[in-house]
Amino acid sequence: MPCGSVSSKPMREFALSHRKDSPIRLGIRSFSSDNGDLVDAVVPFMGESITDGTLAKFLKEPGDSVKVDEPIAQVETDKVTIDVASPEAGVIKKFVAKEGDTVEPGTKIAVISKSGDGVEHVAPSEKQKSDKHAPQTTPPPEKKKVDEQKLKADNAVVKEKPKAPSPPPPTRASATEPVLPPKERERRVPMTRLRKRVATRLKDSQNTFALLTTFNEVDMTNLMKLRSEYKDAFVEKHGVKLGLMSGFVKAAVSGLQNQPIVNAVIDGDDIIYRDYIDISIAVGTPKGLVVPVIRNADKMNFAEIEKEINTLAKKATDGTISIDEMAGGSFTISNGGVYGSLLSTPIINPPQSAILGMHSIVSRPMVVGGNVVPRPMMYIALTYDHRLIDGREAVFFLRRIKDVVEDPRRLLLDI
């Protein structure tokens, strides 16, 4: 046996004794410490319907200390943003992926040192590659001599070569032309996966559905009075503020129960009637539009609805909402009024058949009992799939919303 192999055999047996189950990983961990000091941070499972995502950004830097399950990076999918957590407490040694990479569940993005000791190790192949591209400050004497002779020969050729006519100088721009071309004042930013998904779904909605919108206006006097009178007692008992959204959710539930076709959907040549009411609430976030779902809204009271809305809205804003909390939904409510929208035509969220648009409350002169008085008024809009829902059902549904919001006592008396 050659002498050179004597020292390598015990090392191999030592490694195999610690990693009997997977000897092939010897090459992958060849520069880890003997006690398994380095661990990998990998992309977690992202959901049944999500196969990959984009590594949006790192939340830490190499050399930063991390705790167990502390997020070190974020992966953006077409539905939600997923955190990549550190599997162990320690120090980030290096990143093995970069921002903008497409990653799948199980993809390694970082290496964590549990002890925090040592420096980043470089594999021999990587070291040779880096040495190959590194500039040589002191070339060998033989190579230096050859390079000098070649440089003298090139200079001689350049001197003998006739001069080419110099190109004409560029014409000066006139005083009326902009100093910077328009393209130099533009920025090209790739669309996020969430924005791509929203764009695709909304365009599919426009291409598939026969969209039609009907409008009405609601006198908000009684609902606002109800909230004003009971807001303190409501907070004291339920620990959450009484808002206007819960009133519209309850009104929508009543309308869907009166007009079940609005809660249905077309599937091929069939109509699927849903015996449940899951209402989606459109929430605008800095990263894009998300639509969390209030499950079984028909079985919830005002307090339960307000609590659920607050919880889902906070998760959506923080980016911690899960895919399950946005899946499904049989009807959507979009409140553009919080941004000051006076009137709009909302677009259906597939695979639903209708969406209710709320708008800002504006004090307008209204005729009440023969007298002109100021009233807090809101325009409401219902966009629906005219292939399934006729104008009659759509108008009746919107009228029910108006009746319940203007007189919430109807809910108590079921009239």
Q: Are strands 331-335 and 279-285 parallel, antiparallel or unpaired?
A: parallel
Give the whole-angstrom CA distance, residue 372 versus residue 325.
46
Q: Which residue has the higher pLDDT, 301 or 283?
A: 301
In a domain, 286, yes or no: yes
Q: Which residue has the tokens 């990983």?
A: 25
- Say yes or no: 366 and 246 in one domain: yes
- Assess whether pLDDT exceeds 90 at residue 148: no
Which among 81, 113, 145 is the end of a domain? 113
Question: Residue 232 to residues 3, 229, 303, 409: CA-CA distances in angstroms?
Answer: 87, 8, 13, 20
Residues marked as catalytic: 386, 390
The three-class DSSP label of residue 19 is coil
In a domain, 349, yes or no: yes
The three-class DSSP label of residue 134 is coil
Domain that holds residue 240: 209-412
pLDDT of residue 131: 46
Which among 66, 88, 113 is the end of a domain? 113
In a domain, 157, yes or no: no
In a domain, 120, yes or no: no
> Contact 368/345 with Cβ under 8 angstroms?
no
Q: Which residue has the tokens 């320690």?
A: 90
Q: Which residue has the higher pLDDT, 79 or 189?
A: 189
In a domain, 397, yes or no: yes
- Say yes or no: 107 and 231 in one domain: no
- Say yes or no: 218 and 106 in one domain: no
In a domain, 104, yes or no: yes
Q: Which residue has the higher pLDDT, 183 or 345?
A: 345
Highest mean pLDDT among 65-79, 154-168, 230-244: 230-244
Give residue-wise pLDDT tens across range 359-368: 999 999 999 9
Reading the block at residue 130, the tokens are: 């880096």
Give the whole-angstrom CA distance, residue 322 versus residue 315.
8
Question: Residue 189 to residues 100, 101, 186, 192, 205: CA-CA distances in angstroms?
Answer: 12, 15, 10, 9, 26
Which among 113, 136, 161 is the end of a domain? 113
pLDDT of residue 132: 44
**In the chain, % of residues over pLDDT 90:** 41
Give the whole-angstrom CA distance, residue 413 versus residue 415.
6
- Say yes or no: 98 and 226 in one domain: no
Q: Which residue has the tokens 């553009």?
A: 336
- Say yes or no: 243 and 109 in one domain: no
Q: pLDDT class for 50, splitting at 50, 70, 90?
A: confident
pLDDT of residue 168: 53
Q: What is the DSSP string of 370-406?
A: TEEEEEEEEEEEEEEETTTS-HHHHHHHHHHHHHHHH
In a domain, 77, yes or no: yes
- Say yes or no: 237 and 381 in one domain: yes
Residue (of 381, 355, 376, 356) closest to 366 by Cα position: 376
- Say yes or no: 288 and 397 in one domain: yes
pLDDT of residue 77: 80
Give residue-wise pLDDT tens across range 349-387: 888 999 999 999 999 999 998 999 999 999 999 999 999
In a domain, 292, yes or no: yes
- Say yes or no: 95 and 224 in one domain: no
- Say yes or no: 357 and 216 in one domain: yes
- The CATH number that applies at residue 44 is 2.40.50.100
- The CATH number that applies at residue 400 is 3.30.559.10
Give the total number of structural domains in the chain: 2
pLDDT of residue 63: 87
pLDDT of residue 25: 35
pLDDT of residue 11: 41
pLDDT of residue 127: 40
Question: Residue 300 to residues 53, 277, 324, 331: CA-CA distances in angstroms?
Answer: 36, 11, 19, 16
Least-confidence region, from 20-29, 83-92, 182-191: 20-29
Give the whole-angstrom CA distance, residue 216 versus residue 343.
10
